[in-house]
Amino acid sequence: MRISATQRTENENRIRAAMDRLLRGEIPPGGKCDIKTLANEAAVDRTAFYGTRPYGHLRVEFERRLRALQDAGEIPDPREAQIARLKMEITKLKERLDKSEQSIDELTDFRTQALARLAAQHEEIVRLRDAVAGASRVSRLPAPRTTVIGTCS
């Protein structure tokens, strides 16, 4: 079905107005900042934006402007901005988790080494006590007296 030049101009004006609204972040409920939503907002068939159809140049313009905004760090679609923010947060949390796991591994190794050293020191003490007990030149001191002579005051 052919449309007149006046209808085509009106459609292009509606598409440009809808394009401006979407790129400002005025996304309708259930929509995104994409061609499908642009077509719905402008009340134009979505297939008119593809190939050699009449509004293909407007699709190219919309995608170019959207890409320019994204390159500038602005994301007009709040859901897309939230997704980007959550992806960054996930990356940071994964980095923290990796650091925590590394610290836990280091502390576990340290604990194992400390226990091994304590066990070795205990074995050395026991060995030295046995060696001292077997030597005849070492004499034992008498046990301390337990009886009290006189008053202690």
Residues of the chain with pLDDT under 70: 1, 135-140, 148-153
Looking at residue 48, its pLDDT comes to 86
Closest alpha carbon to 32 in 76, 72, 70:
76
Looking at residue 110, its pLDDT comes to 96
Looking at residue 136, its pLDDT comes to 61
**Rounded distance between C-alpha atoms, residue 53 and residue 71, angstroms:** 28
3-state DSSP assignment of residue 44: coil
Q: CA separation (Å) from 135 to 64, 130, 139, 140? A: 94, 9, 9, 11
3-state DSSP assignment of residue 28: coil
Looking at residue 152, its pLDDT comes to 61
